[in-house]
């Protein structure tokens, strides 16, 4: 299996955080939960699961990020409605709003990752590679085990979190040193 670097997110607004870029999170495992606030599976399972992950793992090891990626009911899912939704559901982790693509109902980050819909859970390892992309419901034990395994991998980042990989990573992967 070829591991590829995750594309950066294309957002136009952030809640619970200043604007975030994937490269700034290098050195941490990233759990990206892509959702719509009117998606039943997102509300009943994916977002509570993301909250549980955020509460279970140390913030130094795991960054849980939400991405509100609207591809239907555009008029109802405004930033004002999203802000109220995040407050009511007590979503405290950073949430970006996926960038609208003129002439397309599918937003930019959703297109870049070739997502199938919401909820989509994406796990990104410490060097920025997509290790899992799953559309639909994930079992709690399965996602927890996968996050724990990524946390347990030896970091391939030299120096402080966010510094450049020391092993020459590129779009094809990250070779072992030596």
Q: What mean pLDDT do residues 135-150 have?
A: 93
Is residue 109 within 8 Å of 69, Cβ to Cβ? yes
Q: How many whole angstroms separate alpha carbon 106 and alpha carbon 100? A: 7
Domain assignment of residue 173, yes or no: no
How many domains does the chain fold into? Answer: 1
What pLDDT digit, counting tens, does each position of 105-129 carry? 999 999 999 999 999 999 999 999 9
What pLDDT digit, counting tens, does each position of 65-96 carry? 999 999 988 888 899 999 999 999 999 999 99
Domain assignment of residue 84, yes or no: yes
Any idea what the CATH number is for the domain that residue 53 is in?
Answer: 3.40.30.10
Domain containing 114 equals 11-15+25-61+71-121+134-152
Domain assignment of residue 87, yes or no: yes
Domain assignment of residue 110, yes or no: yes
**pTM recorded for the entire structure:** 0.85
Domain assignment of residue 89, yes or no: yes
């Amino acid at each position: 299996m070829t591991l590829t670097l995750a594309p950066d997110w294309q957002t136009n607004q952030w809640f619970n955080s200043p604007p975030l870029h994937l490269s700034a999170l290098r050195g941490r495992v990233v759990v990206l939960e892509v959702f719509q606030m009117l998606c039943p599976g997102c509300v009943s399972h994916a977002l509570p699961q993301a909250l549980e992950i955020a509460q279970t793992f140390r913030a130094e090891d795991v960054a849980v990020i939400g991405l509100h990626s609207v591809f239907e009911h555009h008029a109802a899912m405004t930033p004002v409605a999203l802000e109220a939704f995040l407050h009511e559901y007590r979503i405290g982790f950073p949430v970006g709003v996926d960038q609208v693509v003129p002439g397309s109902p599918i937003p930019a980050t959703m297109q870049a990752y070739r997502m199938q819909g919401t909820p989509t859970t994406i796990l990104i390892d410490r060097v920025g590679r997509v290790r899992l992309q799953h559309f639909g419901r994930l079992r709690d034990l399965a996602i927890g085990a996968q996050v724990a395994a990524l946390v347990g991998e030896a970091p391939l980042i030299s120096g402080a979190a966010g510094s450049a990989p020391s092993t020459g990573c590129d779009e094809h992967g990250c070779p072992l040193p030596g």
